[in-house]
Amino acid sequence: MPARRVIPCLDVRDGRVVKGVRFRDHVDMGDIVDLALRYRDAGADELVFYDIGASPQQRTVDVAWVERVSARLDIPFCVAGGIRDVATARTVLHAGADKISINTPALERPALIGELAAEFGVQCVVIGVDSILEADGEWRVRSHTGDPDRMQAPKKRTLDWIVEAQALGAGEIVLNCMDNDGVRRGYDIAQLRAARASCQVPLVASGGAGAMAHFAEAFGTADVDGALAASVFHSGQIEIADLKRFLHDAGIEVRPGPSASQIVAAW
C-alpha cells in the first residue's frame, strides 16, 4: 500500500486563496504562492487548487496564477476550474500543473473524461465529485458548486457516477461530502466506505476535517488514499508536521516532508 497523502486544498478567486463554509461566505486567506510554499515546507504531499468561480462564470481557469505557482513550487499540484476541453487542459498542464481535475464539465459531457485520458494519460485525470445526502437516503452529485446560487442537481447517484467516471478513464476520484464541508465535524465515513467499495482507482476524501483523529479515521476506517482539507490548515489549527507524526504513531504510513524535521527526528 502506498503512503497515504495529506493534501491541502486552496480555493482560488481572483488569484487569491479564499475559504468558506459549505461553499458560502468566503474570506481572503492570503497570497496563493505564499500559502503554496508554506504547505510545501510543512510537508504536504501535494496541493489542489480550485478556481471556484470558473465553472459558474462559464470561463476557464486563470493560467496566470498556475504559472506563478509552478515557477516556485516543487511538489505535485492539481488544478481545477472550468477545464472543458483538451486544449484548455493542455494549457494548464503546460503551465506546470501535474494533474487536472474536472467536475461540472464531466457531468455535462462525460466523454470529456475519456478524451483527457487518451491525450494525457489517466494519471493526469482527476474527477471531483461533490455529493449531498438527499431526503430519500441516496447520495447524489451536484454541479456548479463554486457558486451556491447557481448550483445544480443532475439527478445522478454519487456511487453510479464514480463507477461511470472510472470506466471512462478517471485516474483518481476526489469525493467531497458537501454536508460536512467546512464544519470540521469529521469526514463522512459511511459515504467514503461506500465509495471505496466501488472505486478501483485512488480515492481522496474531502469535506469535514476538524481534528487529527478525523484523518486517521478516513485512512484507517474508510481506506482512502488521500485526505484533503483546507480550513484546519489555513487557520493553523492543525500543522502538517504534527499531523504526520500523529498518523505515523497511529500505524498509518505517511511520507515525511522534505523539511518536516520534527517528523524525521521522531522516526
Q: Can you give the length of the chain in residues?
A: 267
- How much is the pTM? 0.89
Q: pLDDT tens, 146-195?
A: 777 788 889 899 999 999 999 999 999 999 998 877 667 899 999 999 99
Q: Are 174 and 206 in contact (CB under 8 A)?
A: yes
CA distance from start to end of the chain: 19
Catalytic residues: 11, 130
Cβ-count burial of 38 within 10 angstroms (0-12 exposed, 13-18 middle, 19+ buried)? middle
Cell digits of residue 213: 483523529
Q: pLDDT tens, 69-100?
A: 999 999 999 999 889 999 999 999 999 999 99
Question: What whole-number distance in Å separates Cα of residue 63 and Cα of residue 92?
Answer: 6
Q: Choose among 120, 145, 115, 122: nearest CA to 132.
A: 145
